[in-house]
Amino acid sequence: MQQIPKEMFQPASVDLSEAEKISKPSLSFWKDVSIRFRKNKLAMFGLVLLIILIFMAIFGPMMTPYDYRTNDLMNTNQPPSAEHWFGTDELGRDIFARTWYGARISLFIGVAAALIDLFIGVLWGGFAGFRGGRTDEVMMRIADILWAIPYLLLVILLMVVLEQGLGTMILAMTITGWINMARIVRGQVLQLKNQEYVLAAQTLGASTARIMFKHLIPNTMGPILVTMTLTVPSAIFTEAFLSYLGLGVPQPLASWGTMASDGVQALQYYPWRLFFPATMICLTIFAFNVVGDGLRDALDPRLRK
């Protein structure tokens, strides 16, 4: 074995203060999430798409001199041209204006449904989870039984009976739509309520409401956000589905669903009348789905595959 002279050795001086030094700036949870989200190319693409869609929903109708409801019977069923960018429909209405006006209605339905689901779901699920025991048992049984009712059947039934319109549609969608949110919130609250910080807050005399809204709900924001993002596309889908059954928003209001279901009738001769609203429906659902998936992965990297 080779002899190594002693001079070659040097004491490795350990500077104890170095070990304690934080070399990277500390990241808050949401900063961390945002970094992970931005690394996800597909999710970022969805986000950009979403921003463009929302931008067009706000400013699109202003970009054309035509409005969504003016008939022009001399120019019916025109193909896309410099004059009418997306063509015209059977009453000569400009499809470009109608598409972006419809974007407002479709997006509004989606976001409103998601917000109402959030409101009821968080209250119901949060209360059931926090109380636990019998209250929880009864509340979740009620939710289970409602949950078993086929969603679209119930929505159709309500739309048949009630007066058609935006409010009715949102009501029909949220009447059992909140259950999913309630289940997720309850599951989270059940996990969190036994943590030490809740005990600490209780010891300090914090009220139940304060613990719920200051400590528990903020910590379940992640799953809530993901569920909301995924509720929007499903509401937009339901709106279009109802329009196909003739239960959509009444004329002359335009939503993507009513435009697409009108377009289907004329598919063979005037395909652009279906093409534009249908593409917007697909792009929006795609964007929300991808952003939702991206958020889920970013919030909980362990789940990522």
Partner 1 sequence: MLKYIGRRLLYMLLSLFLIITATFFLMRAAPGGPFSGEKQLPPEIEKNLNEFYGLDRPWYEQYFDYLISIAQWDFGPSFKYKGQTVNDLINNGFPVSFFLGMEALFIAVGLGILLGIIAALNHNKWQDYGAMVFAVMGISVPSFIMASFLQYVLAIKLGLFPVARWESFMHSVLPALALATTPMAFIARLTRSSMLEVLSNDYIRTAKAKGLSKFQITVRHTIRNALLPVVSYLGPLSAQILTGSFVIEKIFGIPGLGSHFVLSISNRDYTTIMGVTVFYGIILLSAMLLVDIAYGLIDPRIKLAGGKKGE
Q: What whole-number distance in Å separates Cα of residue 178 and Cα of residue 180?
A: 6
> Between residues 83 and 144, which has the closer beta carbon with respect to partner 1?
144
Told to check if 285 binds partner 1 by CB under 8 A, we report yes
Name the residue among 56, 130, 68 with its Cα closest to residue 93: 68
Name the residue among 112, 111, 126, 117 with its Cα closest to residue 219: 126
Span near partner 1 by CB under 8 A; candidates 6-14, 94-102, 208-216, 270-278: 270-278
Told to check if 268 binds partner 1 by CB under 8 A, we report yes
Told to check if 240 binds partner 1 by CB under 8 A, we report yes
Question: Of 157, 199, 200, 221, which lies in the binding site for partner 1, with binding defined by CB under 8 A?
Answer: 157
> Between residues 122 and 240, which has the closer beta carbon with respect to partner 1?
240
Told to check if 216 binds partner 1 by CB under 8 A, we report no
Question: Of 44, 54, 120, 245, which lies in the binding site for partner 1, with binding defined by CB under 8 A?
Answer: 245
Is it true that the peptide bond before 79 is cis, omega within 30 degrees of 0? no
The Cα-based distances of 56 to 75, 106, 166, 292, 299 in angstroms read: 25, 13, 21, 21, 29
Please report, as residue ranges, which positions from 109 to 148 form the binding site for partner 1 (by CB under 8 A).
141, 144-146, 148
Q: What whole-number distance in Å separates Cα of residue 291 and Cα of residue 239?
A: 21
First to last CA, the chain: 49
Tokens of 168: 């009715």
Judged by the rule CB under 8 A, the positions of this chain that interact with partner 1 are 42, 141, 144-146, 148-154, 156-158, 160-161, 233, 237, 240-241, 244-247, 260, 263-264, 267-268, 271, 274, 278, 281-283, 285-286, 289-290, 293, 305
